[in-house]
Homo-oligomer: A and B are copies of this chain.
Amino acid sequence: MSTTTSPPRPTPHEPDAPEERTASSAPDAPAAPALRGPRAEALREALDGDRHALRERLRRELDADWFAPRLHTDDEAHRVHTLDGLRRLAALGHQRLGFDARHGGHDDIDGSVVVYEMLGLGDLSLMVKAGVQWGLFGGAVQALGTTRHHEELLRALMDLEVLGCFAMTEVGHGSDVQGLRTTATYDPSTEEFVVHTPDADAEKTYIGNAARDGHLAVVFAQLETAGERHGVHALLVPLRDRDGSVVPGVRITDNGHKAGLNGVDNGRIAFDHVRVPRTALLDRFADVAGDGTYSSDIESSAARFFTTIGALVKGRITIGGAAATATKVALVIALRRAEERAQFRRPDGEEVVLLDYLAHQRRLLPALARTYALSFAQSELVAGLAGTTAATRLPEHEQRRLEVHAAGLKAATTWHATTTIQACREACGGAGYMAESRLPGLRADTDVFTTFEGDNTVLLQLVAKGLLAAYKDRVEDLDTLGLARTVVSGLFDRARHVLPQPGREPDVTDRAQQLALLVDRERHVVEGLARRVRHARSGDGDAFEATNAAQPHMLAAARAHLDRVQLEAFVTGIERCEDAAAAAVLEQVCDLFALSLLEQEKAWFLEHGRMSGATARQLTRLVDEACGALRPHARELVDAFGVPGRLLQVAGEDA
C-alpha cells in the first residue's frame, strides 16, 4: 500500500465536476441519508478519500426505486430485473470509466473500481452482472485484445449491444487455471481455431451471463498450433445469435438455483469443435500467424500466463470493494437496530437497548472498526490505480506488488464480509432472518466472494509468495531496513524505533508500538517461513510434502502482513483527515481496531515473548473500554457510510 501522495489525477473524463462534491448541491436528487451534524460528513469524506465526489454522485444516482433491492422468489423474474438494472446502469454511463478513451471510454481506472464498490449498496446480483459484462468480459477484451478487438467490441459491450461471458473456470479446474483442458487448436488450412471441450470435466462452469443472456465469450483454452502447445490463451467464441438462440456446436446448461446471486444467469458451456477465425485470439501478448507460426514478446509460457492473468487484477479489487460496501450496509442495519431494540431491564426497571450491553458491543463494534480499517486500505489500493489508463501496463515490479495487494485485500475483505454480515444477522435475532431485513440477501450473495475471483486460501498463498520474494530481494540486496521498506518506509521507520527492547513491555495503547508489534510479527513470521522453505528445498525428502507442511505458515504470514497493512492504512487515513473532530473519532475507532486485533492475535505475541501475560490480560479490559468509548459514536460512524435510507430494507416483492 503506497503512502506516497497520489499524483494529481487527470480529469478530462471525470464525470463528477468539483461543484458536485456534496450531496446538498444536487437539489433534484434526494439527499443522502441525514447526517448527525457535520462530523459524520467529515468522517464520510475521510473514508471516501480521493474519490469522494464520485462516491457522492453515485449515492445520489443509486438512491432510486429501480436500484432498491427487492424480494425475488422467482429466479427468471430476478434475472429479467437484473438485466433491466444493467440497462439502467449503462444509461448512467459509468461503465465507460474503465475503458480506453480512444474507443469511447474515460480511462479513469480507479473511478471504474469505485463504481463497482458503490454497486455493493444494492442487489449484488446487479453488481456481479455488471462485473461480468464490463469488468471480466469487457476487461479481458480491453486488456488481452488489440485494436481490432477494441474497435469491434468496446463500444458495443459498453452499450450492451453485445453481452459477454468470461469463460475460465472448468468443472475439473478452478484455481488451477494453468491446468484448464479446453483446447483451441489452430487449423492453418482454414485459418481458424477449433475450440473444443474434450470431456465433461473440461466444461466451463459457473459462467455468468451464460445461461440466458450472453452472445459472446472470452474462452480460456490451451492453445495448440503446428503440433505444439503454448499454454492458456483467451479467444472470442460466439455463444448465441442476435436472436438469442445458441449457435451450433455450443451446448449451454443452466447452473440452476444458487445460495444467492440468483439474478445472475450462471451456466455451463461445452464446445464441440467450434471454429472461430484466427482473429478471435486476443493477441496482445501472443499471436498466431496465418501459417500457424506462434509468436510472443514474452518468452516463457509461464511468464505469458501470469502476464495474461495479471492483466485481470482489477476484477479482484472490485470484489473486495463491493464486499466492503455490503458489510457497511449490514452494519448500518444491525447497529441501528441495536440502538432501538430494548431487551431486559435495569434493576431500576428501565429497559436497556441492545447496544448498551457489552456483549452486543463486542459483537459489532470491533467489526465496525475493522470495516473502517479495510475501507481505508481499499481506498489506498484503488488510489494506487489513479493516473493509469485502460492501456497502461505497469512496470513488472509494480504490477506484481499490485497483484499481491489486490489478492490479500480481496481475501481479507471478503472473509470479513462473511463473518461480519453473519454477526449482524445474529445480532438482529429472528428479524435478521427475515428476507425483508436485507441481511439474508447480503449474507447469501456475498458468500461466494470468498471463493470466486480467486479462492481466498489460494490468494493468501499468493500473498505469502510475494512476501517471500520481497524478503529474498531484501536479503540479496543486503537491505537491512526490512521487508516493508518499499511499501511503507516512513511508517516502518517510525515503527522500528519504537520496537520494545528485549525485556521491556510494550505499551499496547500507543499507536506506534501497536504498529511496531505488527511489523515485528510480520517480519518474524516471514523470516521463519523463508527458513522453512529454504530448508525444504535443500532437503532430499518429498518436495511436495515439504511445501505442503509449510502451508499453514504461508497463511499465517499472509495474515500477519494484511493485519499490518490495515493498521497502516488506518493511520494514513487519519493523517489525511483534515477535520479535527472527525480525526479524533477516527483515532478512537483505530484504538478499538488495533486493540481488538492485538487481543485476537495475542497468542502469537505471548508465545514469542513479545508480551507478558499481564499485558495480554490487560488487552481484554482495554477492548471493553474502547467499545464503551465508541458506543456513543456508533450511529454517526454508520451514518458516515452514506447508505441511502431506501437501500436499508427490501423494497417489496417483484411484480
Q: Is the interface of A mostly helix, strand, loop or mixed?
A: helix
* Cα separation A617 to B440 with both chains bound (whole Å): 39
Which A178-203 residues have a C-beta within 8 angstroms of B?
179
Known: A358-B548, A551-B359, A606-B613. A451 touches B435 (CB 8 A): no
* Cα separation A589 to B447 with both chains bound (whole Å): 30
Residues of B within 8 A of A169 (CB): 430
Among residues of B, the one whose C-beta sits closest to the C-beta of A262 is B73
Q: Which of B175, B346, B439, B444 contacts A440 (CB 8 A)?
A: B444
Residues of B within 8 A of A75 (CB): 73
A205, A343, A452, A455, most chain B CB atoms within 10 A: A343
Residues of B within 8 A of A602 (CB): 603, 607
Known: A256-B436, A433-B451. A174 touches B343 (CB 8 A): yes
Flag whether A259 is at the interface (Cβ < 8 A).
yes
* A256–B607 touching, CB < 8 Å: no
Report the contact-size class of chain A (Cβ under 8 Å from the partner). 35 or more
Known: A457-B359, A608-B613. A552 touches B174 (CB 8 A): no
Residues of B within 8 A of A439 (CB): 259
Residues of B within 8 A of A175 (CB): 343-344, 429
Q: Which of B172, B440, B607 contacts A606 (CB 8 A)?
A: B607
Whole-angstrom distance between the Cβ of A430 and the nearest chain B Cβ? 4
Which A349-383 residues have a C-beta within 8 angstroms of B?
351-352, 356-360, 362-363
Residues of B within 8 A of A425 (CB): 259, 447
* A548–B256 touching, CB < 8 Å: no
Q: Which of B344, B444, B551, B555 contacts A259 (CB 8 A)?
A: B444
* A255–B450 touching, CB < 8 Å: no
Q: List 21 A-B contacts (CB under 8 A).
A: A71-B256, A173-B343, A175-B343, A179-B344, A179-B345, A256-B434, A259-B433, A259-B444, A346-B543, A346-B544, A359-B551, A362-B552, A429-B455, A432-B451, A433-B447, A552-B624, A602-B603, A603-B616, A606-B606, A607-B614, A607-B616
> A interface vs B, CB < 8 Å?
71, 73-75, 169, 172-176, 179, 205-206, 255-260, 341-348, 351-352, 356-360, 362-363, 418, 422, 425-426, 429-430, 432-436, 439-440, 443-444, 447-448, 450-452, 455-457, 461, 543-544, 548-549, 551-552, 555, 602-603, 606-609, 613-614, 616-617, 620, 624
